[in-house]
Amino acid sequence: MTPEEILQGLYDETLVGNGPRVLELTDEGLRLQMEPQTMLFDALIPSLEEVGARFERGDFFVPEMLIAGKAMAGAMAVLRPLLAETGVETIGKFLMGTVKGDVHDIGKNLVNIMLEGAGFEVIDLGVQVAPEKFVSAIEEHQPDIVGFSAFLTTTMPMFKANLNALEKAGIRNDVIVMVGGAPVTQEYADAVGADGYAADASATVKRAKALLDEKRTKVPA
Ligand code: B12
């Protein structure tokens, strides 16, 4: 197969949720020395975007979304170590979780991989993380940054609930708060009082590093 055929295959087979075939194509791509990033950004992510568009039009339903998501997650399990493989020193601690009421984790997992690749130590609390769980994990792990991920307009208000819980626990100023997820915007992030927002995984890495630099230069030596 040519790299173009692999990319087309990854796109088509993710779209129909053919997990085993997506895995085979991922392996074949790697055998052909294709870049993991190319398979991710030129085939797998665009395919999930198309899944979302079809769901919006009413051509796809939840089961289709689920098997497409699973097919993508299978490929990610193979690509993950390769994407994170850089051997750089730890530059900071990032605590991440999908907010309460929300089970979407593919975007969050991708952000985690990129953060790890950039040298962050990532602690992932998983999905459906309640405000009190974020609070106790921050107290336990003392991260530099905490990230809230939300993929539904109905769960985005949990950002504010989480921030309120941090305030109440007296730890709001100890940690940088970043928010993200498909429906989230910079305006929304500003409105809830988050310190940072990013639209995708690589922008998250850049923004996280910049926020960390800002914080560290503010701290008196
Ligand atoms: C796969 C999928 C599912 C799967 C999730 C599987 C999983 N394990 O994640 C399943 C089937 C479970 C699902 C369920 C539902 N889903 Co859904 N789902 C999707 C779909 C198709 C893809 C999401 C995805 O993973 N995209 C791929 C990643 C890579 O996305 P991404 O946005 O590019 O992620 C980047 C950024 O957001 C950012 N980022 C992410 N997190 C964070 C965190 C921080 C801190 C930062 C800085 C950045 C950041 O970086 C990521 C990487 O680059 C989207 C469509 C879409 N276009 O998003 C709908 C979508 C999100 N789902 C939707 C809906 C409505 C639902 C359901 C309510 C459906 C239902 N009727 O039951 C349920 C809700 C379940 C729940 N309680 O959470 C809607 C949401 C509409 C809205 N605005 O509220 C969408 C947009 C589809 C649509 N077009 O209508 N879904």
Instruction: From 15, 64, 104, 134, give the residue whose CB has the most ligand 1 atoms within 8 Å, as the site to mutate.
Output: 104
SS3 content of the chain, % helix, strand, coil (to 5): 60, 10, 30
183 within ligand 1 shell (Cβ under 6 A): yes
**Ranges of CATH 1.10.1240.10 domains, the chain:** 3-86
Question: Which CATH code fits 92-218?
Answer: 3.40.50.280
152 within ligand 1 shell (Cβ under 6 A): yes
pLDDT attached to residue 35: 93
Tokens of 167: 């305030």
Output the pTM of the full model: 0.87
Mean pLDDT of 157-166: 98
- Is residue 18 pLDDT above 80, yes or no? yes
- Those residues with Cβ within 8 angstroms of residue 182's Cβ, 6 or more apart along the chain or in another chain: 52, 104, 107, 151
95 within ligand 1 shell (Cβ under 6 A): no
DSSP-derived 3-state class of residue 67: helix
pLDDT attached to residue 108: 94
Comparing 85 with 106, the larger pLDDT belongs to: 106
pLDDT attached to residue 82: 87
Ligand 1, atom 4: nearest CA belongs to which residue?
A: 66
- Considering the chain, what is the average pLDDT of its residues? 92
Using the atom order of ligand 1, give the atom closest to the CA of residue 183. Answer: 83
61 within ligand 1 shell (Cβ under 6 A): no
- Is residue 83 pLDDT above 90, yes or no? no
Q: How confident is the model at residue 138 (pLDDT cuts 50, 70, 90)?
A: very high
pLDDT attached to residue 185: 98
DSSP-derived 3-state class of residue 71: helix
Q: How confident is the model at residue 176 (pLDDT cuts 50, 70, 90)?
A: very high
Tokens of 58: 């009413």
**Ranges of CATH 3.40.50.280 domains, the chain:** 92-218
- Type of residue at 14: T
Question: Which CATH code fits 3-86?
Answer: 1.10.1240.10
Alpha carbons 213 and 122: distance in angstroms, whole number = 18
Ligand 1, atom 14: nearest CA belongs to which residue?
A: 62
